[in-house]
Amino acid sequence: MSTRKKVAILYGGRSVEHGVSVNSAKNIFEFIDRNKFEPIAIGLSTTGKWYLKQTVDKEITTGRELTISTNPEQPGFITEGIWIRPDMVFPVLHGTDGEDGSVQGLLTALQIPFVGSGVLGSAVSMNKVIAKQILEANGIPVVPFLSYRKSQIKTLQFQYFDERFGTPFMVKSASLGSSVGVAKVRTEREFEAALEDSLRYDDEVIIEKFIPGREIECAILGNDPPQASRPGEIIISKKYDFYNFDAKYVDAEAVEIKVPADLNEEIANKVRDLSVRAFQALRCQDFARVDLFLSGEGMFINEINTIPGFTNSSMYPMMWRERGVPFGELITRLIELAEIRWQMQNQHNRDFQSSLKY
């Protein structure tokens, strides 16, 4: 009888980062230690349907359609009368409906353990406005910004932000990743186009100062206490205006990745300290990648990714490999961290005896 633990890898989903999720999940499915774990590929289509797959690929709807058992005493997935109960779920769902706490809430309600941040950490980290407000309240530097709801957009004037931040400045969708819905703005026409594009994906936008400087990233692993990798750096080709989607995932020559970054020990340690503080302030768990700007004006947290990429060009696994943790071992550590955290959470007493009559 196999003692391997069943790990369901969730990927795809109703997100603009659907394709990135597929590529990340392919690597996790390939490199997971099959002596310890039995991977189960579960793909979520672009319309939100769940399918059981033999392997991870983009043809999600060719799998067997799944339903979810809502019985917490028998949690899991059902297909063609067969009940599948994973010991652990590894969400690799970047962006909307995957990185924002939605799936985490479902799994929590069903009492199915999972890798990564829970509802709170996922939700506050995904929304750039809330994340920045929490970081500021904890004395952690962020880029100067303003935020607006969709109902306020018609009142916004380019001249105001030109005077406030100077040009260029950045316009971003508040709750997306992979640089989707992001633009660098220099003119009124570009400003109007950027707002329109950002609002295609979200109901809230961030307008923030552009910080010319170095793009630094730091990988966090663990909980009590979390550990920070040595920082890495993204050096962007001059043909790109900023680190956009194509530079991240399409053009293999768009960036030079340096792991570790060329930083003196004092600066590197400050990056690591700020990254851990951000991870803890936003109530993240297990792992995350923290993105920072380093410039003559200072060091700023840009954002935190609670489900960072695991593609061939992703920084998170690269930074841990530099620390002597290969891809397969990293996956094992993440699953083991989630198991420990799940056991600790289940020690909480949920039964309160009172005189209340009902």
Give a yes or no: residue 352 inside a domain: no
Q: Which residues contact 326 (CB under 8 A, 6 or more apart)?
A: none
Do 255 and 340 share a domain, yes or no? yes
Is the bond leading into 168 cis (omega within 30 degrees of zero)? yes
User: In Å, what is the CA distance from 53 to each residue of 19, 42, 47?
Assistant: 16, 6, 17
**Span 157-180, pLDDT tens digits:** 999 999 999 999 999 888 765 556
pLDDT value, residue 244: 58
Closest of 277, 261, 263, 262 to residue 228, by C-alpha: 277
Residue spans of the chain under pLDDT 50: 1
Which domain CATH number covers 94?
3.40.50.20
Domain interval for residue 59? 5-114
Give a yes or no: residue 129 inside a domain: no
pLDDT value, residue 274: 97
pTM for this model (two decimals):
0.89
Do 196 and 237 share a domain, yes or no? no
Give a yes or no: residue 70 inside a domain: yes
Do 220 and 327 share a domain, yes or no? yes
Joined tokens for residue 194: 């950027």
- E-only strand ranges, 178-270: 182-185, 204-209, 214-221, 227-228, 232-236, 255-258
Do 327 and 338 share a domain, yes or no? yes
HSE-CB of 102 using CA atoms within 13 angstroms: 16
**Span 287-336, pLDDT tens digits:** 999 999 999 889 999 999 999 999 888 899 999 999 999 999 999 999 99
